[in-house]
Amino acid sequence: MLRIALLGNPNTGKTSLFNLLTGLNQKVGNYPGITTEKKVGILEFNQKQRAEIIDLPGLYSLTPSSTDEAIVTQILVDAQNSHHPDVAVVIADATNLKRNLFLYTQVKDLGIPTLLVINMMDEAVRKGIHIDKEILERRFQTPVVKVSVRKNKGIDTLKEKLGEPIAPAQNATIPSRSKTHPAYKPNAKQLRLQESIYRYRAIRDVLKEALTVNQAEARDLTSKLDRVLTHKVWGYAIFLLVLSLIFQAIFSWAGTPMDWIDQGFNSFGKWLQWVMPAGVFTDLLSQGVIPGIAGVVMFIPQIAILFLFLTLLEESGYMSRVVFLLDKFMRRFGLSGKSVVPLISGVACAIPAILSARNIENERERLTTIMVTPFMTCSARIPVYTILIAVVIPNQKWGIFNLQGLVLMGMYILGVTTALLAAAVFKKVLKRKYKSFLIVELPPYRMPQFRNVWISMLEKTKAFVYKAGQVILAISVVLWFLANYGYREETAVPAAQMAYENSPHKPEDFQTFASGYRLKHSYLGRLGRFIEPVVAPLGYDWKIGIALLASIAAREVFVGTLATVYSVQDEGDEAPIKQRLLGEVRADGSRLFDLATGISLLLFYAFAMQCMSTIAVVRSETRSWKWPAIQFGYMTVLAYVAALLAYQILK
């Protein structure tokens, strides 16, 4: 099958074109380098002809400066590479042809049959830019297609052209190097400078003939916006405003749908218990699976809104301005302006965030960014924080401020602060001298395309729910099993009876006491009591200990685990989880979830590295077990110490 590689500068609409050609939906963004993974799709010309299309990360030249760019160079230069394409399609932005043609001439010089696609023709026409296709085709000896991906124009012509055989151009821009293409290997800086000058000169010669700009028609909204958005004072003020609007939206818009989902699951569980025959399987569903699934589904509204805003920031081009605004500040902590993107994305989920660190050129800044990103308050922490805050923080109001809301905001601030401080520590520890620089394009602002935003939000939310859903489903089934077996029924009842008689205070009836007694003597109870000495100094009982243990797989499991444990204990009583937490008491009859234990748990979840998927991603991104091991170690120690101090001081 014909293999076609799609490549081009960042922000040229490459991924949108990929979506149009293949119908395969995936992430597209306006932030330089958002396509961090290689994506493959199938293009069907008609019933007979098909081609494989690879969407490569955006890049400016074939001399790699970052991991992302290195991947592309490798694929294109090495003819033996399994992804080496038969045809390269270079997509260029019509409003900035000169810089876009730089990459194009480099690709063409490799001797790969190349097709030039000029995108954003609608915008170019508005800006009074006229491009002569025939002259470009003659001078570059390659087919040229003008399109507007946004307006879905010229795509059929492009498909037609791709169906025809394309010959490699014979007139290389830098002939002496094209034969062996080592131009991209020798590292002599002077040579590179010469090459750049020569290439740009050749491009200018072509464009002198092929490009005319009618200045009178040009208008530049981006410049006007940037007067304010990158302003010394207003720029920062607006950035903070944007951030607070996002958080406001997440917590106010999501509230109502979350209540619906919660109630819906509750009624569903009750209904199931009513219609299904009583037995082990019904118990498993109503006590294990449903509370577990509800724990994830309930947070879909918040997570979807979060992803929606992140996509808008990237698609509009605003994220690059944030890089500009925060570069100086981030440098103090051994990070780069480009670290802002992973850190902000980390508020949704650390996994895509760590992948997006790939376009940080400097190895050390990239590593530091990866190491501290999991401190950002990811969406998996939201369920844990929400429930704990609702239980331990009084619902007090001071004017427009709500104490619970402030504490939640405080948790986000704690996350960012810890990430930055940890980065500063890494800066001190990894003293090695290193070269750091920043060069980032500030692309024109573009109205986000509804289709792209919608697809991106949907895909990311789906990925989160499936990932979390599977883990939670598995864990809740295992937990339910462990909580229901391990004791012998015939000995348990008399033993419980005896313990009940001997117990000094009898706050509950015998039934409740007996099921609590059974739980305590189940496999789960034994495991919990085995780890209790470790978690007791933090103010936790063995049930919280079990929830912590389960959370090593993923944080969001915490609420579901407690829900499962308590519903087994209360024999399927469907009281809201919050009521159950409030009802838990210690041996002396005092509330278990008091302020000290609550704060201790909040701190533990803020600092601990409880996510298997993140560990796996860090391992693959740093290509070693060393960094994920260090990360897991220091974060766990920090979490334990912080939780210990909090409990011992507040107790």
Partner 1 sequence: MRISDLKKGQCGTIKGFFAGDLPEKFYEMGLLPGIRVELYNDSWSKDPLYLKMEGCALAIRKAEADKIEVELEK
Name which position in 157, 171, 196, 248 contacts partner 1 (CB under 8 A): 196
Structure tokens belonging to residue 495: 């033993």
Only one residue has tokens 């890089």, namely 323
4, amino acid identity: I
CB of 232 to partner 1, least distance (A): 6
In angstroms, give the least distance from the CB of 442 to partner 1: 4
Q: For the CB of residue 11, give the shortest distance to partner 1 in the complex, in Å.
A: 10
Kindly report the number of other CB atoms within 10 A of residue 489's CB atom: 7
Q: What's the closest the beta carbon of residue 368 comes to partner 1, in angstroms?
A: 17
Of positions 54, 91, 97, 357, contacts partner 1 by CB under 8 A: 97
99 part of the interface to partner 1, by CB under 8 A:
yes
String marking each residue 56-75 x if it binds partner 1 according to CB under 8 A = ----xx-x-x----------
Among 559, 557, 605, CA closest to 581: 559
Among 49, 223, 256, 396, binds partner 1 (CB under 8 A): 223
Q: Is 98 in the site for partner 1 (CB under 8 A)?
A: yes
Please identify, using beta-carbon distances, which residue of 254 and 330 lies nearer to partner 1: 330
Strands (E), 76-209: 87-93, 114-119, 129-131, 144-146
Nearest distance, CB of residue 236 and partner 1, angstroms: 10
- Quote the least distance from Cβ 422 to partner 1, whole Å: 24
Among 428, 433, 435, 623, binds partner 1 (CB under 8 A): 435
From the CA atom positions of the chain, what is the Rg in Å? 29
Q: How far is 291 from 574, CA to CA, in rounded Å?
A: 9
Cα dihedral angle (211, 215, 217, 221), rounded to 10 degrees?
Answer: 100
The C-alpha atoms of residue 476 and residue 593 are separated, in whole angstroms, by 22
Show contacts with partner 1 in window 300-339 (CB under 8 A).
320, 323-325, 327-328, 337
Rounded-to-integer distance, Cα 304 and Cα 402, Å: 24
By the rule CB under 8 A, 446 interacts with partner 1: no
Q: Tell the smallest beta-carbon distance from residue 33 to partner 1 (Å).
A: 13
Kindly state the smallest distance separating residue 16's Cβ from partner 1, in Å: 19
**Which helix (H) or strand (E) element contains residue 6?**
strand 2-8
Q: What are the residues whose beta carbons fall under 8 Å from the beta carbon of 644, sequence distance 6 or more? A: 537, 538, 600
CB of 435 to partner 1, least distance (A): 7
Among 31, 102, 265, 540, which residue sits at the site for partner 1 (rule: CB under 8 A)? 102
Look at the alpha carbons of 304, 310, 312, 315 in this order and tell me if their dihedral is positive or negative: negative
Asked whether position 437 contacts partner 1 by CB under 8 A, the answer is yes
CB 461 within 8 A of CB 303: yes
Distances from the Cα of 581 to the Cα of 285, 388, 510, 597, angstroms:
21, 9, 20, 12
Among 96, 359, 379, 564, interactor with partner 1 by CB under 8 A: 96
Q: Which of 50, 151, 153, 231 binds partner 1 (CB under 8 A)?
A: 231
Q: With contact defined as beta carbons under 8 Å apart, do 91 and 28 qualify? A: no
440 binds partner 1 (CB under 8 A): yes
Which residues contact partner 1 by CB under 8 A?
60-61, 63, 65, 95-99, 102, 189, 192-193, 196-197, 200, 222-223, 226-227, 230-232, 320, 323-325, 327-328, 337, 361, 435, 437-443
